Amino acid sequence: MILARYSRKLFNPVNLNKFYSSYSVPETTSFPRRIFSGIQPTGQIHLGNYLGAIAQWVKLQQDNEDMILSIVDLHSITLPQDPKILSNNILEMTATLLACGIDPSKVILFQQSMVPAHTHLCWCLGCICTMPRLAHLPAYKEKSANLKDISLGLFVYPVLQAADILAYKATHVPVGEDQAQHIQLTQDLARMFNKRYGETFPIPHCIFTGGDYSRLRSLRDPNKKMSKSDPDPKSRICLIDPPDEILKKIKKSVTDFTSEVTYDPENRPGVSNLISIHSFVTGKTISQICDEVKNFNTGQYKLQVADAVISHVGPIQKKISDLLNNQDFLVQVLKGGAEKAGEISEKTLQEVKDKLGLQFKRETVHKQILNL
């Protein structure tokens, strides 16, 4: 779901198994399979986001999965945002998802803040979550390290993320491997609630979607992942970059002093990154590409990669542009999705409130009055 990086040292499956064994409630599979994922409307979607997340959602949609996708705008305001830019970004993200192939008639696509159950359930879950548990998460340490004033929202947003998932009783969550600890927190909270109040939530499982797409590296520093948080915009190829910008970025991408085009990620990460990009956008294997360009030098090859990327993203850009010219349609998509999401999440919330004792049963109230 929303991207964060975690320390492998802290993620010890053996210790987690010992921790989870302390819960006596058995984990059942009685819940129907349902997938939930979310994406923040901040920054521009780059090739890594598109190939590693959105394209994978489209594949799950094509497999007729019961899937719910949310534009998680509440998560985005844990850090300061320009309100006008944020509202535009929400519509742009909606247009991007639709242009990439997400079909709102097949999956539920909605804006998080339109569905009140998320924040209501977040409070309920927050009341069983401890501060040391949240402070232990590396994502919080990373994001707060350079902040003078740390907002409460930044501290508790993993609980809201858990509420996003559990509000729909999702059984599976597509994530990158670096997001595992947030899903583990969701699992913890589901287990704790089930133990205290009876079986209510499934224990959600990760669907790791990064796979080969994690090979996409920064164009300026191939030792780092391509990231939308990188301060250098030349480090990534965004879906909405115009053709001349894509060409310029790829031509200036860092390679090495060997002119031959070969795939060797360890010793030639820059050239290997371009080959990976070329492979992903064309569907050709790495060996096929290397055979085709064996007589090219790296300068010539960069032009071929740029052409392939431009050809791939061109139709997507056209769809995004068309959709942004019809913003009323985008708003209706989000509202329609919110209505569907609200019906599901409200049922979950009512069940939670009932188990917490936050709402009265008429017959119980009647008996209490008679006993006065």
Phi and psi at residue 319, to the nearest 5°? -65, -40
228 is catalytic: yes
Catalytic residue, candidates 143, 169, 249, 302:
143
**DSSP designation for 51:** I
- Of 151, 70, 165, which is closest to residue 122 (Cα–Cα)? 165
Catalytic residue, candidates 228, 234, 319, 347:
228
367 is catalytic: no
SS (H, E, C) the chain: CCCCCCCCCCCCHHHHHHHHCCCCCCCCCCCCCCEEEEECCCCCCEHHHHHHHHHHHHHHHHCCCCEEEEECHHHHCCCCCCHHHHHHHHHHHHHHHHHCCCCCCCCEEEEHHHCCHHHHHHHHHHCCCCHHHHHCCHHHHHHHCCCCCCCHHHHHHHHHHHHHHHCCCCCEEEECHHHHHHHHHHHHHHHHHHHHHCCCCCCCEEEECCHHHHHCECCCCCCCECCCCCCCHHHCCECCCCHHHHHHHHHCCCCCCCCECCCCCCCCHHHHHHHHHHHHHHCCCHHHHHHHCCCCEHHHHHHHHHHHHHHHHHHHHHHHHHHHCCHHHHHHHHHHHHHHHHHHHHHHHHHHHHHHCCCCCHHHHHHHHHCC
Catalytic residues: 143, 225, 228
